[in-house]
Amino acid sequence: MTAPTDTTGKGPSDYRKLEESVTLSPVANPSGLGQSEELLTINMGPHHPATHGVLRLLVTLDGEIVRDLRPLIGYLHTGIEKTCEDKPYWKVVPLVERMDYLAYYFNAMAYVHSVEELVGIEVPKRAQYLRVIHMELNRIMSHLFWFGTSCLDIGAMSLLWYSLRERETILDLFESASGQRVHTRYFQIGGVIEDIPGGGWVDRCRAFVKELPTRVAQFRDLIYANEIALQRLKGVGIVDSQRLLDLGVTGPLLRASGVEWDLRKAQPYSSYDDFEFGVPLGAVGDNFDRMAVRLAEMEESAKIIEQALDGLPEGPVIVDDRKVALPPRHELATSMEALIHHFKLVTEGFRVAPGERYSAIEGPRGELGCFVKADGSSKPARVHIRDSSFVNLQAIADMCRGGYIADLIATLAMLDPILGGIDR
């Protein structure tokens, strides 16, 4: 650590002189310098305020230096994948939403996308655009929450309130569109449940994405000049891109190390090829780049939302196939056929011919894949979510080994693990 530069012009203060006059008695084997014989293994978590959930880390310390690290997980395991096997296809959506609780639209999208490809459903264009709008709002929301809590971890408390204020606007938009702030169950197999409401929803959304770049610039101003934060970010936790690829790391973590890989660009789904947006990349792959990439991604998401609102096509918001999608409510009072379809869907659900498929989307934390296996009945024989946090967490040891324990907290925050998704 370098001494702070003297800006007053009066020379070192009395306190500084006193501090410098102190000589420490020589230590034969100072801790934190080289491999000492005595290693200390300690538990961090599962209940630790800075682990972003019930994550337990077994840390082997050599003084202040982290020599080894092992994540222990499973404290939040609720067997969602098992429960999915007991629900008809369309009733699985609210279950998978609850896995990664900051990316509920993405979880739902990964699942419905997989089922739609398995069954062969063509989603109406308006529904695809509405999905894009909500997913990108969700991406901004997830990054905002990550940003606020991560800044809290590295000592910048005020940013939590600023980022949560912006997040609140997004949650209000979700609430107006779907009735729920989190776990919205907005995406259905075949489309979305309802059109976005009139009464200024679009205007509020536009106002938000117009203001967001200003807010992100303010975030940057607050954190990029914060010496304490920069000490924990710059040059810390670097893992080269090949090692990250071997570990299966995707998303902002991979892009921060300079690999241009974004499934929205590489394998476009849900009309992502209609929009123009950039893929922010980092140069070194340290914690600072991870933060910078996510902040820039928020701005790119805002661009996508703006284009999607401009080009929002008219038309239905859910597929017109009554075998997979519920009939409109008003038809139930007049049409016997609609009533039968409604009854069949609600009691049994629709059947899917035997088959299996894995498809992936770009979640806020990387590749969010969903494997669905059908056995011919109305319930899936297997639903597996390849959660990006679960795979990314394997890189934590590589990122932290050889660094300070204080850097571990910052690196963990920049990894952005969501334990609900990891444990499922």
Per CB under 8 A, which region of 25-33, 125-133, 204-212, 383-391 contacts another protein? Answer: 383-391
Residues 6+ apart with CB under 8 A from 13: none
What is the total count of residues that contact another protein (CB under 8 A)? Answer: 40
DSSP conformation letters of 46-82: SS-GGGSSS-EEEEEEETTEEEEEEEE--TT---HHH
Is residue 360 near another protein by the rule CB under 8 A? yes
Six-digit token string for 189: 């197999």
Is residue 246 near another protein by the rule CB under 8 A? yes
DSSP, collapsed to helix, strand or coil, labels residue 36 as coil
Residue selected from 142, 307, 359, 389 as contacting another protein according to rule CB under 8 A = 359
Min dist. Cβ of residue 388 to another protein (A): 10
Is residue 189 near another protein by the rule CB under 8 A? no
Residue selected from 29, 348, 358, 376 as contacting another protein according to rule CB under 8 A = 358
Per CB under 8 A, contacts with another protein among 36-95 are: 73-74, 77, 79, 81-83, 85-86
Per CB under 8 A, which region of 124-132, 294-302, 379-387, 411-419 contacts another protein? Answer: 379-387
Instruction: Tell me which DSSP letter residue 404 carries.
Output: B
Q: CA torsion, points 398, 402, 408, 414, in degrees to nearest 10?
A: -50
Per CB under 8 A, contacts with another protein among 247-276 are: 247-248, 250, 261, 266-267
Min dist. Cβ of residue 37 to another protein (A): 25
Is residue 361 near another protein by the rule CB under 8 A? no
Min dist. Cβ of residue 298 to another protein (A): 25
Query: Binding mask 4-43 vs another protein (x if CB under 8 A, - otherwise)?
Result: ----------------------------------------
Is residue 279 near another protein by the rule CB under 8 A? no
d(CA 237, CA 65): 13
Our CB check for another protein shows the closer of 17 and 82 to be 82
Min dist. Cβ of residue 304 to another protein (A): 20
Instruction: Tell me which DSSP letter residue 238 carries.
Output: -
Q: Which of 423, 23, 420 lies closest to 183 in space, CA to CA?
A: 420
Residue selected from 58, 230, 284, 381 as contacting another protein according to rule CB under 8 A = 381
Q: How far is CA 94 from CA 33, 90, 97, 133, 216, in A?
A: 51, 9, 5, 19, 32
Our CB check for another protein shows the closer of 75 and 201 to be 75
Q: What does the longest C-alpha to C-alpha distance in the chain come to? A: 92
Min dist. Cβ of residue 274 to another protein (A): 19
d(CA 373, CA 385): 12
Is residue 365 near another protein by the rule CB under 8 A? no
Q: Which of 228, 251, 229, 301 lies closest to 415 in space, CA to CA?
A: 251
Length of the chain: 424
Q: Which residue has the tokens 């404290």?
A: 75
Min dist. Cβ of residue 239 to another protein (A): 12
Min dist. Cβ of residue 225 to another protein (A): 37
Q: Which residue has the tokens 């809290």?
A: 152
Our CB check for another protein shows the closer of 247 and 298 to be 247
Our CB check for another protein shows the closer of 62 and 262 to be 262
* SS percent in the chain: helix, strand, coil, step 5: 50, 10, 40
Cis preceding linkage at 46, omega within 30: yes
Our CB check for another protein shows the closer of 26 and 79 to be 79
389-421: buried (b, 16+ CB within 10 Å) or exposed (e) per residue? Answer: bbbbbebbbbbbbebbbebbbbbbbbbbbbbbb
Cα of 106 vs its chain's centroid, Å: 9
Is residue 390 near another protein by the rule CB under 8 A? yes
Q: Is 11 exposed, middle or buried (0-12, 13-18, 19+ CB in 10 A)?
A: exposed
Per CB under 8 A, which region of 128-136, 166-174, 303-311, 380-388 contacts another protein? Answer: 380-388
Per CB under 8 A, contacts with another protein among 106-125 are: 117-118, 120
Residue selected from 369, 417, 420, 421 as contacting another protein according to rule CB under 8 A = 369
Count of C-beta atoms within a 10 Å radius of residue 340: 12
Angle of the 201-224 helix axis to the 287-310 helix axis, nearest 10: 160
Our CB check for another protein shows the closer of 77 and 323 to be 77
For binding to another protein (CB under 8 A), which residues are involved? 73-74, 77, 79, 81-83, 85-86, 117-118, 120, 245-248, 250, 261, 266-267, 355-360, 367, 369, 371, 373, 381-382, 384, 386, 390-391, 393-394, 423-424
